[in-house]
Amino acid sequence: MLPVQPQKSQKIDLTQEYPCPCRRRGRLTPIALTEAFGCNRCQQIFVVEESGQVLEQLSGSYPYKKAWRWNGHQWNVANPGLGDSYLPIALGITLMMLIIWLPLALNAKSGSSGLVLIVGVLLLAVLPALMVLLAYRR
């Protein structure tokens, strides 16, 4: 079996319709007299960058820009960065917190105060990971 070669990005045709890269089953249609597309489902506006190969989402609600490249069949993320690795980072931090804090909590005074400390450590470790997981699912 041959390995699948990544397909090269193609220039985006400003007169064609494309599927929406936001995965909401929408269609991108060209906006007249601009180098932009609008989605009929998510109501987002996307602009084509100068090279004509990158589609960028216009949105004021994101701290970073989302961009995609068209390979002829589907959209591929153009600039994967820290935003795509939040979950592994959060899980790594949670694991480090558990490795460091749990032995300290277990070595603390036994009894009800030790149990409260252990539960507190577990909550401090799990809640941030849960928050990032829920944000990542969006």
Q: What is the reported pLDDT for 3? A: 46
Q: What is the span of the domain harbouring residue 107?
A: 83-137
Domain count, the chain: 2
Q: Does residue 60 lie within any of the structural domains?
A: yes
Last residue of a domain, one of 38, 57, 80: 80
Evaluate whether residue 116 is within a structural domain.
yes
Token duo for residue 91? 């899980």
- In tens digits, the chain (138 residues) has pLDDT values of 444 445 677 888 989 999 999 877 899 999 999 889 999 988 889 999 878 888 998 876 666 678 889 998 888 888 655 555 666 777 777 778 778 777 776 776 666 676 777 777 777 777 777 777 777 665
**What is the model's pLDDT at position 123?**
79
The whole-number pLDDT of residue 2 equals 45
pLDDT at 80: 57
Please tell me whether residues 66 and 94 are part of one structural domain.
Answer: no
* Same-domain check for residues 105 and 128: yes
Flag whether 67 is in a domain. Answer: yes
Q: Are residues 48 and 70 in the same domain?
A: yes
Sequence-separated (6 or more) residues with CB below 8 Å from residue 95: none
In this structure, the answer to whether residues 63 and 102 fall within a common structural domain is: no
User: Which pLDDT belongs to residue 37?
Assistant: 94
Q: Answer yes or no: do 98 and 132 share one domain.
A: yes
Query: Does a structural domain hold residue 97?
Result: yes
**Together in a domain, 33 and 45:** yes
| Residue 61 forms part of a structural domain | yes
pLDDT score recorded for residue 85: 61
The pLDDT of residue 46 is 92
Is 75 found in the same domain as 93?
no
* pLDDT value of position 122: 75
